[in-house]
Amino acid sequence: MAWPRGTHPAGTTFALRAEAGESVPLQSWPLAIWPDGSLKWTAHAMAPGKVAPGYEISAGTPAAPTTPLRVTQDADAVTVDTGVMVCRLGARGDRLIESIARGGVEVTRNGRLVCLREDRSDPEHPRLEDFRGTVAKVTVEQAGPVRAVVKIEGRHTHAGASARAWLPFVVRLYFYAGGDSIRLLHTIVHDGDENQDFIRGLGVRFEVPMRGELHDRHVRFSGQGDGLFAEAVRGITGLRRDPGREVREAQLAGAATPPLGTWRAPVPELLKYVPAYADWTLFQSSCDGFEIRKRTKAGRTWLTPARGQRAGGLAYVGTPGGGLALGLRNFWQSYPAQLDVRGATGDAAELTAWLWAPDAAAMDLRGYHDGMGQDTYEKQLKGLEITYEDYEPGFDKPEGVARTSELFLFPAAATPTREQLVQFAAVVRTPPQLATTPEHLHRCAVFGDLWAPVDRSHPGQEQVEQRLDWLFRFYEQQREERRWYGFWNYGDVMHTYDADRHEWRYDVGGFAWDNSELSTDLWLWFYFLRTGRADVFRFAEAMTRHTGEVDVHHLGRFAPLGSRHNVLHWGCSAKQLRISTALNRRFYYYLTGDERVGDLMREQIEAARALATIQANRKVAKERVTAPDPHATEVYAGFGTDWGSLAGAWLSEWERTGDAKMRARLVASMRTIAAQPQGFFTGGARMELATGAFAPSPFKKPNVSHLSAVFGLVEVCAELVQLLPEVPEFKQAWLDYCRLYNAPKEEQAARFGAPLSGIGLEQGHSRLTAYAARQTGDAALAARAWNEFLNPPGYGRGRPRPKNQAVHVAGPAVLRPIDEAPGVSTNDTAQWGLAAMQCLALVGDRLPRG
Nearest to 290 by CA among 232, 334, 350: 334
Q: Tell me, what's the pLDDT at 143?
A: 97
- H/E stretch holding 559: none
Q: Which residues contact 17 (CB under 8 A, 6 or more apart)?
A: 23, 24, 55, 56, 58
pLDDT of 466 > 90? The answer is yes
Q: Which helix (H) or strand (E) holds 364?
A: none
Per-residue confidence (pLDDT) for residue 797, from 0 to 100: 55
**Alpha-carbon span 679 to 676, nearest angstrom:** 5
Neighbours of 367 (CB within 10 A): 19
Q: Which residue has the higher pLDDT, 850 or 226?
A: 226
The arithmetic mean of pLDDT across residues 46-55, rounded, is 91
Confidence band for 708, pLDDT divided at 50, 70 and 90: very high
Tell me the pLDDT tens digit for each residue of 148-173. Answer: 999 999 999 997 656 899 999 999 99
Cα–Cα–Cα angle for 557, 561, 562, nearest 5°? 120
How confident is the model over 137-147, as pLDDT tens digits? 999 999 999 99
pLDDT (0 to 100) of residue 621: 84
Q: In this predicted structure, what is the pLDDT of residue 623?
A: 79
pLDDT at 81 over 90: yes
pLDDT at 68 > cutoff 70? yes
pLDDT of res. 799: 64
H-type alpha helices, 288-437 = 377-387, 418-429
E strand intervals along 603-722: 634-638, 684-688
pLDDT > 70 in the chain, percent: 99
Percent of residues, the chain, with pLDDT higher than 90: 94
Beta bridge partners of 117: 129, 199
Task: Please write the tens of the pLDDT for every residue from 212-221.
Answer: 999 999 999 9
Give helix 779-790 / helix 766-776 axis angle, nearest 10°: 160
Q: What pLDDT, on the 0 to 100 scale, is given for residue 18? A: 95
Mean local confidence (pLDDT), 232-242: 98
Per-residue confidence at 802, pLDDT binned at 50, 70, 90? Answer: confident
In sequence order, which residues have a C-beta less than 8 Å from that of residue 55 and are 6 or more positions away?
A: 16, 17, 18, 19, 24, 46, 434
State the pLDDT confidence band at 822, using cuts at 50, 70 and 90. Answer: confident
Cα 86 to Cα 102: distance, rounded to the nearest angstrom: 7
Angstrom distance (rounded) from CA 304 to CA 297 = 14
Dist CA 763 CA 742 (whole Å): 9
End-to-end Cα separation, the chain, in angstroms: 39
CA count, 13 A, side-chain hemisphere, 65 = 22
Mean pLDDT of 227-248: 98
609-637: b (≥16 Cβ within 10 Å) or e: ebbbbbbbbbbebeebbbeeeeebebbbb
How many residues are recorded in the chain? 850
Q: 26 falls in which pLDDT band (50, 70, 90)?
A: very high
The pLDDT mean for the chain works out to 96
Confidence of residue 417 (pLDDT cuts 50, 70, 90): very high
* Residue in 409, 411, 421, 410 with CA at minimum distance from that of residue 226: 421
Residue type, 178: G
The single-letter code of the amino acid at 515 is N
In this predicted model, what pLDDT tens digit does every residue of 785-801 receive, in sequence order?
999 999 998 665 556 67
> Residue 419, Cα to own-chain centre: how many angstroms?
30
Q: What is the pLDDT at residue 162?
A: 66
pLDDT (average), residues 537-560: 98
